[in-house]
Amino acid sequence: MSQRKLSLLMVVCSLIGGVIGFAVGEAILSRLSSELPQWLLMGLYFGQYALFVGLMCLVAEMISPRLNGSGWKQRYVGESWKMLVPSTLVMVGVAAMLLQLLYGFSYQRASSTDNIVLLLDTSDSMRQTDPNNQLFQAAADVVRKMDSDMQIAVITFNSHAEVLQPLVQLRDQGIKDTVIAKLQNHPGPSGGTQIDEALQAALDQLRASGQLNPSSTVVLMSDGYSNVDLQTATEPFKQAGLPVHTVGMSQVDADATYLLQRIAEKTGGTYFNVDHADELSGIFGQIYDLSRQDRNFVTERTGAAADSAFYATCRVIGLLIIGALLGLALGLIFDNRHLAKSFTIGGAVAGLLAGLLLESALTSADWLDTTIRLCACALMAVVMTLFTLFIPASTSGGQSSFASRLGRGKRAAEQQRESGNRISKRFDL
Protein backbone atom coordinates (compact mmCIF):
# COMPACT_ATOMS: atom_id res chain seq x y z
CA MET A 1 0.00 0.00 0.00
CA SER A 2 1.24 3.48 -0.86
CA GLN A 3 0.32 6.90 0.39
CA ARG A 4 1.27 10.51 -0.10
CA LYS A 5 3.08 12.25 2.74
CA LEU A 6 4.34 15.74 3.43
CA SER A 7 6.79 16.84 6.08
CA LEU A 8 6.24 20.54 6.66
CA LEU A 9 9.27 20.56 8.93
CA MET A 10 11.43 19.24 6.09
CA VAL A 11 10.04 21.87 3.72
CA VAL A 12 10.95 24.62 6.18
CA CYS A 13 14.36 23.14 7.00
CA SER A 14 15.13 22.64 3.31
CA LEU A 15 14.30 26.30 2.70
CA ILE A 16 16.65 27.29 5.54
CA GLY A 17 19.37 25.10 4.05
CA GLY A 18 18.82 26.67 0.64
CA VAL A 19 19.13 30.18 2.08
CA ILE A 20 22.32 29.24 3.95
CA GLY A 21 23.72 27.69 0.77
CA PHE A 22 22.81 30.85 -1.14
CA ALA A 23 24.62 33.05 1.40
CA VAL A 24 27.77 30.91 1.30
CA GLY A 25 27.55 30.78 -2.49
CA GLU A 26 27.39 34.57 -2.74
CA ALA A 27 30.51 34.81 -0.56
CA ILE A 28 32.24 32.36 -2.90
CA LEU A 29 31.21 34.40 -5.95
CA SER A 30 32.34 37.73 -4.53
CA ARG A 31 35.69 36.53 -3.18
CA LEU A 32 36.79 33.81 -5.58
CA SER A 33 35.22 34.63 -8.97
CA SER A 34 38.39 36.36 -10.19
CA GLU A 35 40.72 33.71 -8.73
CA LEU A 36 39.13 30.38 -9.67
CA PRO A 37 38.13 28.96 -13.05
CA GLN A 38 34.40 28.98 -13.61
CA TRP A 39 34.04 25.18 -13.54
CA LEU A 40 35.59 24.99 -10.07
CA LEU A 41 33.62 28.03 -8.89
CA MET A 42 30.31 26.44 -9.91
CA GLY A 43 31.33 23.11 -8.38
CA LEU A 44 31.89 24.80 -5.03
CA TYR A 45 28.72 26.90 -5.39
CA PHE A 46 26.34 24.00 -6.01
CA GLY A 47 28.26 21.42 -3.96
CA GLN A 48 28.04 23.40 -0.74
CA TYR A 49 24.44 24.39 -1.56
CA ALA A 50 23.49 20.71 -1.83
CA LEU A 51 25.36 19.99 1.40
CA PHE A 52 23.39 22.54 3.41
CA VAL A 53 20.05 21.50 1.92
CA GLY A 54 20.81 17.83 2.59
CA LEU A 55 22.02 18.59 6.11
CA MET A 56 18.87 20.50 7.03
CA CYS A 57 16.60 17.83 5.53
CA LEU A 58 18.42 15.18 7.54
CA VAL A 59 18.04 17.26 10.71
CA ALA A 60 14.32 17.68 10.00
CA GLU A 61 13.78 13.93 9.61
CA MET A 62 15.77 13.21 12.76
CA ILE A 63 13.51 15.57 14.71
CA SER A 64 10.32 14.20 13.18
CA PRO A 65 10.80 11.10 10.95
CA ARG A 66 7.51 11.53 9.12
CA LEU A 67 8.72 10.33 5.72
CA ASN A 68 11.03 7.47 6.75
CA GLY A 69 9.37 6.30 9.95
CA SER A 70 10.71 5.71 13.44
CA GLY A 71 12.48 2.53 12.36
CA TRP A 72 14.83 4.57 10.15
CA LYS A 73 15.71 6.85 13.05
CA GLN A 74 16.46 3.91 15.33
CA ARG A 75 18.48 1.79 12.91
CA TYR A 76 19.77 3.73 9.91
CA VAL A 77 20.44 7.33 10.91
CA GLY A 78 24.15 6.59 11.35
CA GLU A 79 24.41 5.44 7.73
CA SER A 80 22.58 8.60 6.63
CA TRP A 81 25.23 10.78 8.24
CA LYS A 82 27.94 8.79 6.45
CA MET A 83 26.23 9.39 3.08
CA LEU A 84 25.67 13.13 3.58
CA VAL A 85 28.93 14.54 2.24
CA PRO A 86 29.57 12.00 -0.58
CA SER A 87 26.07 12.32 -2.01
CA THR A 88 25.79 16.12 -1.79
CA LEU A 89 29.06 18.02 -1.73
CA VAL A 90 30.95 15.45 -3.79
CA MET A 91 28.34 14.08 -6.21
CA VAL A 92 26.46 17.31 -6.92
CA GLY A 93 29.67 19.39 -6.85
CA VAL A 94 31.46 17.19 -9.39
CA ALA A 95 28.39 17.11 -11.63
CA ALA A 96 28.16 20.92 -11.50
CA MET A 97 31.83 21.17 -12.49
CA LEU A 98 31.30 18.97 -15.55
CA LEU A 99 28.10 20.75 -16.58
CA GLN A 100 29.80 24.15 -16.19
CA LEU A 101 32.68 23.00 -18.42
CA LEU A 102 30.12 22.25 -21.15
CA TYR A 103 28.20 25.47 -20.57
CA GLY A 104 31.30 27.66 -20.43
CA PHE A 105 32.95 26.25 -23.54
CA SER A 106 32.97 28.74 -26.42
CA TYR A 107 31.97 26.54 -29.33
CA GLN A 108 32.29 29.36 -31.86
CA ARG A 109 35.38 31.05 -30.49
CA ALA A 110 37.61 32.09 -33.38
CA SER A 111 40.85 32.62 -31.49
CA SER A 112 42.41 31.77 -28.16
CA THR A 113 43.82 35.29 -27.87
CA ASP A 114 41.62 38.04 -26.42
CA ASN A 115 41.82 41.52 -27.88
CA ILE A 116 40.90 44.83 -26.27
CA VAL A 117 40.57 48.08 -28.18
CA LEU A 118 40.48 51.22 -26.03
CA LEU A 119 38.71 54.27 -27.46
CA LEU A 120 39.70 57.26 -25.32
CA ASP A 121 38.10 60.69 -25.56
CA THR A 122 40.61 63.54 -25.85
CA SER A 123 38.15 66.31 -26.70
CA ASP A 124 38.53 69.75 -25.16
CA SER A 125 35.81 69.07 -22.57
CA MET A 126 38.08 66.50 -20.90
CA ARG A 127 40.09 69.40 -19.44
CA GLN A 128 37.22 69.95 -16.99
CA THR A 129 36.05 66.34 -16.72
CA ASP A 130 39.51 64.85 -16.15
CA PRO A 131 41.92 67.64 -15.15
CA ASN A 132 44.48 65.22 -13.67
CA ASN A 133 44.63 62.99 -16.74
CA GLN A 134 43.38 59.95 -14.85
CA LEU A 135 41.81 58.44 -17.96
CA PHE A 136 45.18 57.58 -19.46
CA GLN A 137 46.51 56.51 -16.08
CA ALA A 138 43.60 54.07 -15.82
CA ALA A 139 44.36 52.75 -19.32
CA ALA A 140 48.01 52.26 -18.33
CA ASP A 141 46.87 50.30 -15.25
CA VAL A 142 44.83 47.99 -17.47
CA VAL A 143 47.86 47.35 -19.70
CA ARG A 144 49.96 46.45 -16.64
CA LYS A 145 47.30 43.95 -15.55
CA MET A 146 46.77 42.28 -18.92
CA ASP A 147 48.04 38.77 -19.57
CA SER A 148 50.77 38.07 -22.11
CA ASP A 149 48.39 36.21 -24.44
CA MET A 150 46.27 39.32 -25.00
CA GLN A 151 46.42 42.02 -27.67
CA ILE A 152 45.60 45.69 -27.23
CA ALA A 153 45.04 48.70 -29.44
CA VAL A 154 44.59 52.30 -28.28
CA ILE A 155 42.68 54.88 -30.31
CA THR A 156 42.22 58.47 -29.22
CA PHE A 157 39.49 60.66 -30.65
CA ASN A 158 38.33 64.26 -30.61
CA SER A 159 37.32 65.89 -33.89
CA HIS A 160 39.12 62.98 -35.57
CA ALA A 161 40.19 59.48 -34.53
CA GLU A 162 43.89 58.64 -34.31
CA VAL A 163 45.54 55.26 -33.70
CA LEU A 164 47.87 55.80 -30.76
CA GLN A 165 48.83 52.11 -30.60
CA PRO A 166 48.01 49.56 -33.33
CA LEU A 167 46.86 46.13 -32.18
CA VAL A 168 49.84 44.40 -30.57
CA GLN A 169 50.28 41.31 -28.43
CA LEU A 170 51.68 42.02 -24.96
CA ARG A 171 54.02 39.06 -25.09
CA ASP A 172 56.68 40.57 -22.82
CA GLN A 173 57.28 43.45 -20.42
CA GLY A 174 59.15 45.47 -23.04
CA ILE A 175 56.04 45.73 -25.24
CA LYS A 176 53.93 46.63 -22.22
CA ASP A 177 56.36 49.41 -21.31
CA THR A 178 56.18 50.78 -24.86
CA VAL A 179 52.38 50.93 -24.81
CA ILE A 180 52.37 52.50 -21.35
CA ALA A 181 54.86 55.16 -22.48
CA LYS A 182 52.59 56.10 -25.39
CA LEU A 183 49.66 56.45 -23.00
CA GLN A 184 51.66 58.62 -20.64
CA ASN A 185 52.96 60.90 -23.41
CA HIS A 186 49.81 61.41 -25.45
CA PRO A 187 48.85 64.91 -26.71
CA GLY A 188 46.59 67.01 -24.47
CA PRO A 189 42.83 67.46 -24.93
CA SER A 190 41.57 69.55 -27.84
CA GLY A 191 38.79 69.68 -30.43
CA GLY A 192 35.31 68.18 -30.50
CA THR A 193 33.89 64.66 -30.11
CA GLN A 194 33.42 62.22 -33.00
CA ILE A 195 32.36 58.89 -31.55
CA ASP A 196 31.39 57.39 -34.90
CA GLU A 197 34.92 57.89 -36.25
CA ALA A 198 36.34 56.20 -33.16
CA LEU A 199 34.08 53.17 -33.65
CA GLN A 200 35.04 52.96 -37.31
CA ALA A 201 38.74 53.12 -36.43
CA ALA A 202 38.23 50.21 -34.02
CA LEU A 203 36.56 48.17 -36.78
CA ASP A 204 39.43 48.95 -39.16
CA GLN A 205 42.01 47.80 -36.62
CA LEU A 206 40.23 44.53 -35.93
CA ARG A 207 39.47 43.80 -39.58
CA ALA A 208 43.06 44.41 -40.60
CA SER A 209 44.31 41.90 -38.03
CA GLY A 210 41.54 39.35 -38.63
CA GLN A 211 40.20 39.77 -35.10
CA LEU A 212 36.69 41.05 -35.81
CA ASN A 213 35.04 38.27 -33.80
CA PRO A 214 33.65 37.51 -30.32
CA SER A 215 37.17 37.12 -28.89
CA SER A 216 37.58 40.91 -29.07
CA THR A 217 36.22 43.66 -26.84
CA VAL A 218 35.94 47.41 -27.43
CA VAL A 219 35.94 49.89 -24.54
CA LEU A 220 34.64 53.38 -25.36
CA MET A 221 35.08 56.21 -22.86
CA SER A 222 33.63 59.66 -23.53
CA ASP A 223 32.24 62.66 -21.71
CA GLY A 224 30.51 64.24 -24.70
CA TYR A 225 27.80 63.81 -27.31
CA SER A 226 28.06 63.53 -31.07
CA ASN A 227 25.64 62.75 -33.88
CA VAL A 228 25.86 59.01 -34.50
CA ASP A 229 23.76 56.80 -36.75
CA LEU A 230 23.37 54.00 -34.21
CA GLN A 231 22.21 51.38 -36.68
CA THR A 232 25.12 51.97 -39.06
CA ALA A 233 27.75 52.36 -36.34
CA THR A 234 26.79 49.33 -34.24
CA GLU A 235 25.61 46.78 -36.81
CA PRO A 236 29.13 45.50 -37.70
CA PHE A 237 29.86 44.89 -34.03
CA LYS A 238 26.54 43.15 -33.54
CA GLN A 239 27.07 40.89 -36.56
CA ALA A 240 30.54 39.96 -35.33
CA GLY A 241 29.26 39.25 -31.82
CA LEU A 242 31.70 41.84 -30.51
CA PRO A 243 30.61 43.81 -27.40
CA VAL A 244 31.29 47.51 -26.93
CA HIS A 245 31.47 48.49 -23.27
CA THR A 246 30.92 52.20 -22.72
CA VAL A 247 32.02 54.46 -19.88
CA GLY A 248 30.42 57.88 -19.32
CA MET A 249 31.00 60.65 -16.81
CA SER A 250 28.03 61.75 -14.71
CA GLN A 251 28.64 65.37 -15.75
CA VAL A 252 27.66 64.71 -19.36
CA ASP A 253 24.20 65.71 -20.50
CA ALA A 254 21.29 63.28 -20.80
CA ASP A 255 21.69 62.88 -24.57
CA ALA A 256 25.32 61.83 -24.19
CA THR A 257 24.48 59.32 -21.47
CA TYR A 258 21.64 57.87 -23.55
CA LEU A 259 23.94 57.56 -26.58
CA LEU A 260 26.55 55.57 -24.66
CA GLN A 261 23.88 53.37 -23.10
CA ARG A 262 22.38 52.58 -26.50
CA ILE A 263 25.77 51.73 -28.03
CA ALA A 264 26.41 49.24 -25.23
CA GLU A 265 22.89 47.82 -25.42
CA LYS A 266 22.93 47.28 -29.18
CA THR A 267 26.30 45.49 -29.14
CA GLY A 268 25.76 43.35 -26.03
CA GLY A 269 28.12 45.43 -23.92
CA THR A 270 27.68 47.13 -20.55
CA TYR A 271 27.39 50.83 -19.73
CA PHE A 272 29.34 52.14 -16.73
CA ASN A 273 28.68 55.53 -15.20
CA VAL A 274 31.54 57.34 -13.46
CA ASP A 275 30.92 60.05 -10.90
CA HIS A 276 34.55 61.13 -10.57
CA ALA A 277 37.60 60.64 -12.76
CA ASP A 278 39.46 58.82 -9.99
CA GLU A 279 36.98 55.94 -10.41
CA LEU A 280 38.13 55.23 -13.96
CA SER A 281 40.90 52.84 -12.95
CA GLY A 282 38.44 50.63 -11.04
CA ILE A 283 35.92 50.72 -13.89
CA PHE A 284 38.51 49.75 -16.48
CA GLY A 285 39.62 46.94 -14.19
CA GLN A 286 36.03 45.65 -14.00
CA ILE A 287 35.73 45.70 -17.77
CA TYR A 288 39.00 43.82 -18.15
CA ASP A 289 37.83 41.16 -15.69
CA LEU A 290 34.51 40.97 -17.53
CA SER A 291 36.25 40.42 -20.86
CA ARG A 292 38.29 37.55 -19.40
CA GLN A 293 35.50 35.93 -17.40
CA ASP A 294 33.74 32.91 -18.86
CA ARG A 295 29.98 32.59 -18.49
CA ASN A 296 28.59 30.59 -15.58
CA PHE A 297 25.22 29.23 -14.52
CA VAL A 298 24.31 31.94 -12.00
CA THR A 299 25.35 35.21 -13.66
CA GLU A 300 24.18 37.14 -16.70
CA ARG A 301 25.60 36.24 -20.09
CA THR A 302 27.11 39.12 -22.04
CA GLY A 303 28.52 39.71 -25.49
CA ALA A 304 27.80 37.39 -28.38
CA ALA A 305 26.22 34.72 -26.18
CA ALA A 306 23.83 37.12 -24.43
CA ASP A 307 20.81 36.23 -26.56
CA SER A 308 21.94 32.74 -27.59
CA ALA A 309 19.10 30.21 -27.54
CA PHE A 310 21.71 27.45 -27.41
CA TYR A 311 23.33 28.71 -24.20
CA ALA A 312 19.91 29.52 -22.72
CA THR A 313 18.90 25.90 -23.25
CA CYS A 314 22.21 24.69 -21.81
CA ARG A 315 21.69 26.73 -18.64
CA VAL A 316 18.13 25.46 -18.10
CA ILE A 317 19.07 21.82 -18.78
CA GLY A 318 22.13 22.16 -16.55
CA LEU A 319 20.04 23.42 -13.62
CA LEU A 320 17.48 20.67 -14.27
CA ILE A 321 20.20 18.01 -13.96
CA ILE A 322 21.67 19.62 -10.83
CA GLY A 323 18.21 19.74 -9.26
CA ALA A 324 17.56 16.08 -10.11
CA LEU A 325 20.91 15.06 -8.62
CA LEU A 326 20.13 17.04 -5.48
CA GLY A 327 16.90 15.05 -5.13
CA LEU A 328 18.74 11.80 -5.77
CA ALA A 329 21.26 12.79 -3.09
CA LEU A 330 18.45 13.01 -0.53
CA GLY A 331 17.24 9.57 -1.57
CA LEU A 332 20.76 8.20 -1.03
CA ILE A 333 21.04 9.92 2.35
CA PHE A 334 17.80 8.32 3.57
CA ASP A 335 18.51 5.08 1.67
CA ASN A 336 14.89 5.07 0.53
CA ARG A 337 14.04 4.20 -3.06
CA HIS A 338 10.54 5.70 -2.83
CA LEU A 339 11.83 9.04 -1.56
CA ALA A 340 14.66 8.92 -4.10
CA LYS A 341 12.07 8.74 -6.88
CA SER A 342 9.97 11.55 -5.40
CA PHE A 343 12.88 13.86 -4.63
CA THR A 344 14.61 13.23 -7.98
CA ILE A 345 11.51 14.11 -9.99
CA GLY A 346 10.78 17.06 -7.71
CA GLY A 347 14.39 18.21 -7.94
CA ALA A 348 14.28 18.06 -11.74
CA VAL A 349 11.14 20.21 -11.81
CA ALA A 350 12.66 22.59 -9.25
CA GLY A 351 15.88 22.84 -11.26
CA LEU A 352 13.89 23.53 -14.42
CA LEU A 353 12.01 26.37 -12.72
CA ALA A 354 15.21 27.79 -11.21
CA GLY A 355 16.94 27.65 -14.58
CA LEU A 356 14.07 29.45 -16.31
CA LEU A 357 14.09 32.11 -13.58
CA LEU A 358 17.84 32.71 -13.89
CA GLU A 359 17.70 32.75 -17.67
CA SER A 360 14.83 35.22 -17.89
CA ALA A 361 15.53 37.58 -15.00
CA LEU A 362 19.30 38.06 -14.60
CA THR A 363 20.50 41.56 -15.46
CA SER A 364 23.64 43.65 -14.98
CA ALA A 365 22.28 45.13 -11.71
CA ASP A 366 24.14 43.47 -8.83
CA TRP A 367 21.39 43.84 -6.22
CA LEU A 368 18.74 42.47 -8.57
CA ASP A 369 20.88 39.51 -9.65
CA THR A 370 21.54 38.67 -6.00
CA THR A 371 17.78 38.68 -5.34
CA ILE A 372 17.15 36.47 -8.37
CA ARG A 373 19.73 33.94 -7.20
CA LEU A 374 18.16 33.91 -3.73
CA CYS A 375 14.74 33.19 -5.24
CA ALA A 376 16.20 30.42 -7.44
CA CYS A 377 17.96 28.75 -4.49
CA ALA A 378 14.82 28.94 -2.34
CA LEU A 379 12.64 27.68 -5.18
CA MET A 380 14.85 24.66 -5.81
CA ALA A 381 14.92 23.67 -2.14
CA VAL A 382 11.18 24.04 -1.50
CA VAL A 383 9.68 22.57 -4.69
CA MET A 384 11.81 19.42 -4.38
CA THR A 385 10.54 18.61 -0.87
CA LEU A 386 6.92 19.28 -1.83
CA PHE A 387 6.89 16.42 -4.34
CA THR A 388 6.27 13.79 -1.68
CA LEU A 389 2.67 15.06 -1.93
CA PHE A 390 2.40 14.03 -5.57
CA ILE A 391 4.36 10.77 -5.71
CA PRO A 392 3.14 8.17 -3.19
CA ALA A 393 5.59 6.17 -1.10
CA SER A 394 5.19 2.72 0.42
CA THR A 395 3.85 2.71 3.95
CA SER A 396 6.04 -0.31 4.79
CA GLY A 397 9.15 1.77 4.97
CA GLY A 398 11.45 2.18 2.07
CA GLN A 399 14.92 1.21 3.22
CA SER A 400 15.56 -1.18 0.38
CA SER A 401 19.09 -0.70 -0.78
CA PHE A 402 22.28 -0.32 1.19
CA ALA A 403 20.85 -0.33 4.70
CA SER A 404 18.45 -3.21 4.14
CA ARG A 405 21.07 -5.28 2.33
CA LEU A 406 23.48 -4.56 5.15
CA GLY A 407 20.88 -5.76 7.67
CA ARG A 408 20.17 -8.92 5.69
CA GLY A 409 23.89 -9.58 5.36
CA LYS A 410 24.40 -9.28 9.12
CA ARG A 411 21.49 -11.62 9.85
CA ALA A 412 22.79 -14.18 7.34
CA ALA A 413 26.25 -14.03 8.87
CA GLU A 414 24.84 -14.54 12.37
CA GLN A 415 22.76 -17.52 11.19
CA GLN A 416 25.81 -19.04 9.52
CA ARG A 417 27.86 -18.65 12.69
CA GLU A 418 25.09 -20.24 14.80
CA SER A 419 24.86 -23.17 12.37
CA GLY A 420 28.62 -23.64 12.51
CA ASN A 421 28.57 -23.63 16.29
CA ARG A 422 25.88 -26.31 16.38
CA ILE A 423 27.88 -28.53 13.98
CA SER A 424 31.01 -28.05 16.07
CA LYS A 425 29.18 -29.08 19.25
CA ARG A 426 27.92 -32.27 17.58
CA PHE A 427 31.41 -33.30 16.55
CA ASP A 428 32.72 -32.51 20.03
CA LEU A 429 30.18 -34.86 21.46
> Domain residue spans in the chain?
2-106+309-396, 115-293, 399-429
- Greater confidence (373 vs 269) lies with 373
- Distance, in Å, from the CA atom of 202 to the CA atom of 243, rounded to the nearest integer, reads 12
Q: Looking at residue 180, what is its pLDDT?
A: 93
Does residue 352 carry a pLDDT above 90?
yes
State the average pLDDT for the chain.
Answer: 84
- Distance, in Å, from the CA atom of 131 to the CA atom of 189, rounded to the nearest integer, reads 10
> Which of 49, 204, 45, 202 is closest to 116 using CA atoms?
202
Average pLDDT of the residues in 399-428: 50
Average pLDDT of the residues in 350-369: 89
| Segments of 87-215 assigned E as strands | 115-121, 151-157, 161-169
Ranked by mean pLDDT, the top range of 35-44, 128-137, 283-292 is 35-44
Confidence of residue 405 (pLDDT cuts 50, 70, 90): very low
Poorest-confidence range of 3-17, 168-182, 216-230, 322-336? 216-230
Please report the DSSP string for 153-180 in residue order: EEEEESSSEEEEEEEEE--SHHHHHHHH
Q: What homologous superfamily does CATH list for 115-293?
A: von Willebrand factor, type A domain (3.40.50.410)
Poorest-confidence range of 143-152, 319-328, 369-378? 143-152
Q: Looking at residue 401, what is its pLDDT?
A: 47
Q: Looking at residue 404, what is its pLDDT?
A: 47
Average pLDDT of the residues in 228-254: 84
% of the chain exceeding 90 in pLDDT: 44
* Non-local CB neighbours of 421 within 8 Å, separated by 6+ positions: none
Q: How many Cα neighbours within 13 Å face the side chain of 127?
A: 8
Does residue 393 carry a pLDDT above 80?
no
- Greater confidence (338 vs 324) lies with 324
Does residue 281 carry a pLDDT above 50?
yes
Average pLDDT of the residues in 376-389: 95
- Greater confidence (400 vs 166) lies with 166
Q: Looking at residue 167, what is its pLDDT?
A: 92
Does residue 370 carry a pLDDT above 70?
yes
